[in-house]
């Protein structure tokens, strides 16, 4: 029970709350994760609750993992039996078992946003609708919103209000697209992200035995970040908790930032209505930030009308004022931020891992990256274009998906002609028509292709089907790694990539190997029981942006969107791009609700900082390759100016601005998963390869003169040092570490290198 002594009275009360519903309103930095973990530990350790009976829903898998580890220090390995994870991953786990009740195979595929969009694109095309009007993005958002409100395609079609709204917004065919989309997903044995929630709801409402089973299993339910749950999640939780009513939700209305995904603050208010016996606990003391930051954040959030009454306070020091940096361009903004980070380290011994750069949109990372690289500051980017979104990764994954579930239409279409095997769009189109007319899946048609197509194409398709079938048989007898390796080799994917000797091609090949390594680590994980391909695919389908690798973070600045930063904290935080139309986003200016959500997002951003907060903006910025002027964000004016230190451009030390540029280190994007393996993508940087252009008088030297350790100039990559020369008979190679683009292997018969002494 020592763990209770570390809590303040309010926290302790929340932890000791016994049975029945409770809501914990926890301000930023008030120790809510601590309360949650101690509470769970207390349930197990003191109240002798069986961990199997506890369900904890968190916002990221990483948060769940950390929480589990902390609980383990109190109650031991028993903690591993707690059901803990994101809504999506917990529900996917349930659906793996129960999907057959809903007519889905238990090895169902999970469609990510890209799969969903490309399926919608296909449907729009098949219906001969204008894809400029029915944009996949827009259509998907509408369908997603409907699913989050638990409206299926049939109900959608019947609903007069929705119909008139769709007509008004000139998308009258939406209902029919939704019907088709639903049908195609079901036929393919696939669920999109929203289906994981929707189908769980269907399961619990249509199958009393299943409802009964999970209600008695989950006797204690805890929900973190409750302010970001949507209607579907709300209803499911309510159903699960209906019998025991032991539900504790933790949230902060001021940090609700996912309305675009259907999150509804209303859920907090509904909660009070649903459980009249509800106890409410408030955690108002901030342990994270300086008083300046706490006060400044309060001065911002009070501009919002919609909020629950609470007053955040802190015992911490007053701290430093909030710096405001003004730059003339996005590139200069990056430079100033990078220099400031460098200076913090040099003069104040603040290591890079304690510093973070936050921005509204992922596209803002580029200018920052370049500046950090020039100063030789290591960094890592959370989110953005992730490893799994790369073409080469998706290609192999499509083969793997197809092997697990051959009805997966998106996967089939992706690889039926990759690598090129002479099955073009025309032929695939014919198969699709046959599939539509006969009601069979695309795979069924492929199996019986000779009945629908003639000529040599039929033979090729037949060969493809035979290959996939052989993969399926192979997969039944082997683990995920051996199967994936077999598939990569036999399908020709590996050969196709290794034949591409361009720089980008080599990077792609390495990425593919990284994926295979990742699968190997998955298989080698001692704690894992299921090592088949299907388990691996399920594992990676639900990775979140924040599910990051930790061992590699040392001496690296963290960069991410503010959304990804939720729940995190850093000593020094830079919030960039504080300009009208960027933050707040131009798309969020039309209603008070939207603007207030942007303001909450800003609130989340600044409350990430412990000691020092810096806000920056630029007066011009590149968009669509053009330079646009911008004006400072209204949010800057909303902060009480007594907390601000507006830096005048002159004050900045010129030493830094003229410093010689250092070679780059670091700079890889990292994505990983909690099971212990991690995947790094080799960045494919055409941009930087293009950036450098040799002077007109550039003349390469004779490759024979090159030696290890020499400093050389390359016509595209700029300057670098030869780290190794490989004297293979017909392909002399040099490995050169370039200042800007990092290590490259160059074939000396092609590469033009000039020696610099």
Partner DNA sequence: TTTCTGTACTAATCA
Partner DNA sequence: AGTACAGAAA
Positive or negative: CA dihedral 670, 673, 678, 681: negative
- How many angstroms separate the CA atoms of 603 and 269, rounded? 21
* Interface map 245-284 toward DNA (x if CB under 7 A): ------------xx-xx-----------------------
Bridging pattern class, strands 678-681 and 718-727: unpaired
Least gap, CB of 611 to DNA (angstroms) = 25
* Interface map 688-727 toward DNA (x if CB under 7 A): --x-------------------------------------
- How many angstroms separate the CA atoms of 306 and 494, rounded? 55
Q: At what angle do helices 480-491 and 391-404 cross, to 10 degrees?
A: 110
The answer to whether residue 360 forms part of the interface with DNA (CB under 7 A) is yes
Least gap, CB of 642 to DNA (angstroms) = 30
Touching DNA, residues 627-686 (CB under 7 A): 686
User: In the complex with DNA, which residue's Cβ is closer, 325 or 382?
Assistant: 382
The answer to whether residue 157 forms part of the interface with DNA (CB under 7 A) is no
* The 3-state secondary structure of 195-222, one letter per residue: HHHHHHHHHHHHCHHHHHHHHHHCCEEE
With CB under 7 A as the rule, give the number of residues binding DNA: 49
Please identify which residue in 30, 56, 89, 538 interacts with DNA, judged by CB under 7 A.
Answer: 89
- How many angstroms separate the CA atoms of 396 and 234, rounded? 37
Question: How much helix, strand and coil, in percent to the nearest 5, is found in the chain?
Answer: 50, 15, 30
Please identify which residue in 269, 587, 627, 657 interacts with DNA, judged by CB under 7 A.
Answer: 587
DSSP 132-199: TTS-HHHHHHHHHHHHHTT--HHHHHH-HHHHHHHHHTT-TTHHHHHHHHHHHHHHTTEEEHHHHHHH
Please identify which residue in 33, 81, 113, 620 interacts with DNA, judged by CB under 7 A.
Answer: 113
Of 667, 670, 385, nearest to 547 (Cα)? 670
425: exposed, middle or buried (Cβ count in 10 Å: 0-12, 13-18, 19+)? exposed
Question: Which residues neighbour 596 within 8 Å (Cβ) at sequence distance 6 or greater?
Answer: 304, 305, 306
The answer to whether residue 609 forms part of the interface with DNA (CB under 7 A) is no
Query: 241: helix, coil or strand?
Result: helix
Please identify which residue in 227, 407, 564, 614 interacts with DNA, judged by CB under 7 A.
Answer: 564
Least gap, CB of 425 to DNA (angstroms) = 7
* Interface map 308-347 toward DNA (x if CB under 7 A): ----------------------------------------
Place of tokens 């570490």: 737
Q: Which stretch binds DNA (CB under 7 A): 41-49, 100-108, 471-479, 581-589?
A: 581-589
Asked if 184 contacts 409 with a C-beta cutoff of 8 angstroms, the reply is yes
Structure tokens at 706: 């090159």
Catalytically active residues are 32-33, 224-225, 255, 608
* Interface map 44-83 toward DNA (x if CB under 7 A): ----------------x-----------------------
Please identify which residue in 40, 95, 153, 423 interacts with DNA, judged by CB under 7 A.
Answer: 423
- How many angstroms separate the CA atoms of 49 and 590, rounded? 49
Least gap, CB of 512 to DNA (angstroms) = 18
Please identify which residue in 266, 361, 631, 645 interacts with DNA, judged by CB under 7 A.
Answer: 361
The answer to whether residue 388 forms part of the interface with DNA (CB under 7 A) is no
Of 519, 541, 546, nearest to 111 (Cα)? 541
| Strand-pair partners of 572 | 355, 612
Q: Which stretch binds DNA (CB under 7 A): 45-53, 418-426, 530-538, 710-718?
A: 418-426
Touching DNA, residues 173-212 (CB under 7 A): 193-194
Q: Which stretch binds DNA (CB under 7 A): 69-77, 354-362, 526-534, 548-556?
A: 354-362
User: In the complex with DNA, which residue's Cβ is closer, 591 or 727?
Assistant: 591
To the nearest 10°, the Cα dihedral for 120, 125, 127, 133?
80
Q: Which stretch binds DNA (CB under 7 A): 181-189, 510-518, 619-627, 731-739?
A: 619-627
The answer to whether residue 424 forms part of the interface with DNA (CB under 7 A) is yes
User: In the complex with DNA, which residue's Cβ is closer, 340 or 364?
Assistant: 364
Of 560, 644, 641, nearest to 605 (Cα)? 560
Least gap, CB of 136 to DNA (angstroms) = 8
Please identify which residue in 157, 187, 245, 421 interacts with DNA, judged by CB under 7 A.
Answer: 421
Least gap, CB of 414 to DNA (angstroms) = 13
Least gap, CB of 533 to DNA (angstroms) = 21
User: In the complex with DNA, which residue's Cβ is closer, 334 or 383?
Assistant: 383
CB atoms within 10 A of CB 152: 14
The answer to whether residue 417 forms part of the interface with DNA (CB under 7 A) is yes
Q: Which stretch binds DNA (CB under 7 A): 85-93, 162-170, 403-411, 694-702?
A: 85-93
The answer to whether residue 457 forms part of the interface with DNA (CB under 7 A) is yes
Q: At what angle do helices 208-217 and 193-206 cross, to 10 degrees?
A: 100
User: In the complex with DNA, which residue's Cβ is closer, 420 or 650?
Assistant: 420
DSSP 372-412: HHHTT--EEE-SSS-GGGSHHHHHHHHHHHHHH-TT-HHHH
The answer to whether residue 227 forms part of the interface with DNA (CB under 7 A) is no
Of 751, 128, 617, 561, nearest to 336 (Cα)? 617
Please identify which residue in 88, 180, 326, 673 interacts with DNA, judged by CB under 7 A.
Answer: 88
- Binding residues (CB under 7 A) for DNA: these are 60, 86, 88-89, 113, 121, 132, 137, 144, 193-194, 257-258, 260-261, 360-363, 383, 417, 420-427, 457, 542, 544-546, 561, 563-564, 585, 587-588, 594, 601, 622-625, 686-687, 690
């Amino acid at each position: 029970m020592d763990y209770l002594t570390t809590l303040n009275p309010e926290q302790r009360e929340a932890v000791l709350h016994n049975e029945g519903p409770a809501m914990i309103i926890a301000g930023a930095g008030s120790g809510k994760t601590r309360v949650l973990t101690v509470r769970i530990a207390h349930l197990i350790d003191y109240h002798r609750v069986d961990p199997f009976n506890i369900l904890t829903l968190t916002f990221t898998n990483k948060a769940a993992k950390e929480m589990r580890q902390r609980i383990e220090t109190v109650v031991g390995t028993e903690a591993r039996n707690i059901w803990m994870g994101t809504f999506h991953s917990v529900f996917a786990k349930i659906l793996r078992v129960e999907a057959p009740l809903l007519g889905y195979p238990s090895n169902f595929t999970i469609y990510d946003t890209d799969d969903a969009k490309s399926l919608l694109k296909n449907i729009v095309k098949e219906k001969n609708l204008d894809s400029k009007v029915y944009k996949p993005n827009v259509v998907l958002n509408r369908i997603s919103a409907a699913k989050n409100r638990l409206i299926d395609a049939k109900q959608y079609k019947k609903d007069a209000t929705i119909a008139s709204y769709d007509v008004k917004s000139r998308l009258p065919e939406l209902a029919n697209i939704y019907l088709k989309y639903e049908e195609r997903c079901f036929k393919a044995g696939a669920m999109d992200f929203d289906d994981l929630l929707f189908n769980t709801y269907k399961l619990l409402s249509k199958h009393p035995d299943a409802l009964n089973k999970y209600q008695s299993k989950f006797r204690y339910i805890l929900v973190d970040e409750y302010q970001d749950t949507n209607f579907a999640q709300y209803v499911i939780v309510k159903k699960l908790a209906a019998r025991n009513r032991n539900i504790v939700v933790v949230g902060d209305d001021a940090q609700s930032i996912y309305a675009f995904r259907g999150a509804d603050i209303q859920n907090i208010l509904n909660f009070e209505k649903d459980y009249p016996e509800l106890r409410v606990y408030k955690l108002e003391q901030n342990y994270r930030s300086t008083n300046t930051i706490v006060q400044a954040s309060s001065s911002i959030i009070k501009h919002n009308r919609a909020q629950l009454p609470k007053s955040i306070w802190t015992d911490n020091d007053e701290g430093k004022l909030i710096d405001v940096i003004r730059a003339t361009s996005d590139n200069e903004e990056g430079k100033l931020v990078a220099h400031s980070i460098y200076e913090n380290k040099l003069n104040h011994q603040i290591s890079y891992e304690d510093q973070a750069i936050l921005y509204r949109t992922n596209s803002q990372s580029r200018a920052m990256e370049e500046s950090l690289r020039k100063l030789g500051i290591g960094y890592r980017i959370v989110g953005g274009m992730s490893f799994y979104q790369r073409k080469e990764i998706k290609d192999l994954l499509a083969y793997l998906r197809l092997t697990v579930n051959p009805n997966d239409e998106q996967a089939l279409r992706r690889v039926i002609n990759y690598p090129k095997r002479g099955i073009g769009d025309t032929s695939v189109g014919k198969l699709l028509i046959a599939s539509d007319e006969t009601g069979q899946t695309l795979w069924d048609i492929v199996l019986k292709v000779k009945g629908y197509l003639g000529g040599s194409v039929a033979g090729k398709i037949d060969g493809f089907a035979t290959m996939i079938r052989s993969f399926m048989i192979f997969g039944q007898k082997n683990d995920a790694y051996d199967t994936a390796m077999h598939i990569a080799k036999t399908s020709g994917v590996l050969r196709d990539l290794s034949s591409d000797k361009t720089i980008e091609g080599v990077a792609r090949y390495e990425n593919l190997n990284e994926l295979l390594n990742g699968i190997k680590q998955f298989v080698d994980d001692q704690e894992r029981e299921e090592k088949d391909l299907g388990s691996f695919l399920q594992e990676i389908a639900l990775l979140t942006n924040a599910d990051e690798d930790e061992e590699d973070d040392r001496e690296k600045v963290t960069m991410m969107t503010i959304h990804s930063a939720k729940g995190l904290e850093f000593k020094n935080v830079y919030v960039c791009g504080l300009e009208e139309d960027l933050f707040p986003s131009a798309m969020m200016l039309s209603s008070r609700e939207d603007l207030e959500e942007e303001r909450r997002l800003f609130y989340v951003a600044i409350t990430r900082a412990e000691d020092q907060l810096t806000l920056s903006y630029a007066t011009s910025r590149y968009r669509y390759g053009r330079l646009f002027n911008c004006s400072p964000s209204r949010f800057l004016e909303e902060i009480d100016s007594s907390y601000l230190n507006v830096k005048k451009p002159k004050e900045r030390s010129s030493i830094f601005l003229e410093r010689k540029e250092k070679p780059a280190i670091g700079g890889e994007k990292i994505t990983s998963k909690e099971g212990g393996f991690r995947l790094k993508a080799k960045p494919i940087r055409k941009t930087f390869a293009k950036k450098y252009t040799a002077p007109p008088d550039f003349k390469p030297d004779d490759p024979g003169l090159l030696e290890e350790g020499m400093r050389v100039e390359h016509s595209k990559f700029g300057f670098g040092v030869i780290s190794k020369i490989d004297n293979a008979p017909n392909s002399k190679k040099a490995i050169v570490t370039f200042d800007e683009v990092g290590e490259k292997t160059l074939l000396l018969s092609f590469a033009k290198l000039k020696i610099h002494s």
